[in-house]
Amino acid sequence: MPQSYILGATGDTVSTETNSDGTKTVAFQGVDIHDFSWTASPDFQLIEDSWQGSAGAVKIRLLMSPGHLRQAGRYLQSVKGTLAMFDRWYGPYPYDRITVVDLPNGAGNAGGMEYPTLITGGTTWWEPRGIRGVELVTEHEFGHQYWYGMVGSNEFEESWLDEGFNTYSTGKVMDVAYGPIGVPVTLLGLRAGGLFDLSRTGKPPQSC
């Protein structure tokens, strides 16, 4: 791809070669995974951070799209908090990185999706903190690293195993992080709860 493009992908970068025609060739390797995804854009702004888990350090690569940079801290806080809770409740995160992709305006249909060590989120430049969309989607898609990823549930044929467990764990993390009964939305001091109370709605969230 063009040398100016910023890349995100499943796994670790093992080599980068610059070519005489202005392109570059980048190779990635992932171990103990069953799926693969990558993304590239000249407009991504890469923000790197890290988190120390019980199985070692985890590199966090956040690819922010134009106009959304003010929301970067929310992504980082959300993914770190979720890593900590999953590490404590469900077991060590065994990979050495997680890439979070913030989608550009108009690409929302690619948001809220999970791939091994890479998830897509979504926000706008205006999203207020009271609407926990950034946090909710980031946490939920990260949770799939465990159920669809490590447990290896078939998300197509037995989605209840993947989405079911993940919806439960999403509610549990949101409860601890933002208050009881899984409260994703706070507006003007009012809370709209129960989105993840499956006994009440019987449905998973809209994102997958």
Provide, rounded to whole angstroms, the least separation between the CB of residue 103 and Zn ion.
16
Helix, strand, or coil here: 185? Answer: strand
* CA atoms within 13 Å, Cβ hemisphere of 35: 17
Write out the binding residues for Zn ion, residues 179-208 only, by CB under 5 A. Answer: 208
Cβ-closest residue to Zn ion?
208
Kindly tell me which of 24 and 172 has the beta carbon lying closer to Zn ion. 172
Calpha distance 147→142 (Å, rounded): 10
Kindly tell me which of 10 and 41 has the beta carbon lying closer to Zn ion. 10
Provide, rounded to whole angstroms, the least separation between the CB of residue 14 and Zn ion.
29
Kindly tell me which of 47 and 208 has the beta carbon lying closer to Zn ion. 208
Sign for the CA dihedral angle at 148, 90, 98, 113 comes to positive
Provide, rounded to whole angstroms, the least separation between the CB of residue 142 and Zn ion.
10
Calpha distance 141→12 (Å, rounded): 19
Which residues have a Cβ under 8 Å from the Cβ of 73 and sit 6 or more positions away? Answer: none
Kindly tell me which of 107 and 208 has the beta carbon lying closer to Zn ion. 208
Kindly tell me which of 181 and 208 has the beta carbon lying closer to Zn ion. 208
Token pair recorded at residue 56: 């070692």
Provide, rounded to whole angstroms, the least separation between the CB of residue 161 and Zn ion.
12
- The H-assigned helical ranges of 100-188 are 133-144, 159, 165-178
Amino acid (1-letter code) at residue 168: Y
Provide, rounded to whole angstroms, the least separation between the CB of residue 162 and Zn ion.
7
> Do the Cβ atoms of 7 and 1 come closer than 8 Å?
yes
Number of residues that bind Zn ion (CB under 5 A): 1
Provide, rounded to whole angstroms, the least separation between the CB of residue 123 and Zn ion.
17
Token pair recorded at residue 34: 């069953």
Kindly tell me which of 7 and 85 has the beta carbon lying closer to Zn ion. 85
Residues binding Zn ion (CB under 5 A): 208
